[in-house]
């Protein structure tokens, strides 16, 4: 791969890759993409979990009360 084209591929991959979930390696005429499925599974366990901070006293609101 031409040096200029290789650099464009590397720059594009750095912009698109999300954290450490995916790694992109460029060598000669080969582009290798590795997906860390174990890390994605670990992060997916927390998907949808949120924390709400409030100044409402604890005795006025129960965890089971609807928001």
- Which of residues 19 and 25 earns the better pLDDT score? 25
pLDDT band, residue 59 (cuts 50/70/90): low
Whole-angstrom Cα distance, residue 48 to residue 14? Answer: 27
DSSP state letter for 18: -
DSSP state letter for 5: H
Model pLDDT, residue 15: 81
- Which of residues 57 and 25 earns the better pLDDT score? 25
- Which of residues 42 and 14 earns the better pLDDT score? 42
pLDDT band, residue 62 (cuts 50/70/90): low
Element (H, E) at 62: none
């Amino acid at each position: 791969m031409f040096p200029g084209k290789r650099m464009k591929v590397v720059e594009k991959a750095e912009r698109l890759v999300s954290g450490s979930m995916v790694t992109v390696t460029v060598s000669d005429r080969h582009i290798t993409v590795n997906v860390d499925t174990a890390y994605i599974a670990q992060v997916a366990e927390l998907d949808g979990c949120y924390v709400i901070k409030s100044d409402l006293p604890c005795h006025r609101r129960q965890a089971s009360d609807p928001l």
